[in-house]
Amino acid sequence: MTRRRITVGVVDYGASNLASVARALTGLGYRCRSSRDPETLGAADVMVLPGVGAFPAAMEALHRHRLVEFIQSQARRGQPIVGICLGMQLLAHSSSELRYTTGLGLIPGQVQPLQAAKWHIGWNSLEVLDKEPLLRASDGQSVFFNHSYAFHAPAEYCVAVSRVNDAMDDAFTVAVRRQQIVGLQFHPEKSQLAGRELLKNVIEGLLP
């Protein structure tokens, strides 16, 4: 029996990493649809929210393209959603970057400056918490980061952390999950084989 090809809708609101995310998804064998059309995105098996840059500008773009209420509605309907880098932060209730800005509010939490360092850039390892099934195979793997703000989420939604140092109190959230909504602070599309395998496990793990 031939398996149905998975369709991934990538939200096109002008994010600079959209093309690299789309290439990674296509390379995994998925049918990729980069669009800001609600009908196209809503018909996808999984919706991916990319992002690089500042939180306020990204939310302004989502509002400008009338995508905020659509994404929130799709989340309520149970469509799987994966936020990548800034896309993960946009899932939060709010951010203090540059100014207070309300986010999509899909996962409780606030985006605040990193405490452990002014900037977290380069390769770092993942510590997967509570044997989160979507990320279990990636525990201890190194992935690529580039951010200066972090998602402060309640413990029940935090599924992976990283550290700048080895101190026990140095951990910061790098992956969140609430039912069918997942956020990844790192760039799986830039994390070579480890990133591609993780992205595949997340996308296919969210599907029935």
pTM, two decimal places: 0.94
Specify whether 158 is catalytic.
Answer: no
Closest CA to 11 of 101, 92, 88: 88
Catalytic residue among 120, 132, 158, 189: 189
Are 51 and 57 in contact by the 8 Å Cβ rule? The answer is: no
- Domain carrying residue 78: 7-206
Residue type, 1: M
64 found inside a domain: yes
| DSSP state at residue 5 | P
Handedness of CA 47, 52, 55, 61 (dihedral sign): negative
Q: How many domains does one find in the chain?
A: 1
Specify whether 189 is catalytic.
Answer: yes
Q: Which two tokens stand for residue 37?
A: 């059309």
161 found inside a domain: yes
Residues of the chain with pLDDT under 70: 1-3, 166-169
**Distance from C-alpha of 83 to C-alpha of 166, rounded to nearest angstrom:** 27
**32: β partners:** 8
Torsion of CA 112, 115, 116, 121, to 10 degrees: 30
Model pLDDT, residue 2: 46
Model pLDDT, residue 16: 76
Model pLDDT, residue 166: 65
Torsion of CA 56, 180, 38, 94, to 10 degrees: -20
Catalytic residue among 85, 120, 147, 158: 85
If one counts every other C-beta atom within 10 angstroms of the C-beta of residue 77, the result is 9
1 found inside a domain: no
Closest CA to 151 of 191, 184, 196: 184
CATH code, domain with 183: 3.40.50.880
2 found inside a domain: no
Q: What angle do CA 22, 53, 26 make, to 5 degrees?
A: 5
**Distance from C-alpha of 64 to C-alpha of 121, rounded to nearest angstrom:** 30
Residue type, 195: G
Model pLDDT, residue 167: 56
Catalytic residue among 32, 120, 147, 187: 187
Q: Is 56 exposed, middle or buried (0-12, 13-18, 19+ CB in 10 A)?
A: middle
Model pLDDT, residue 1: 44
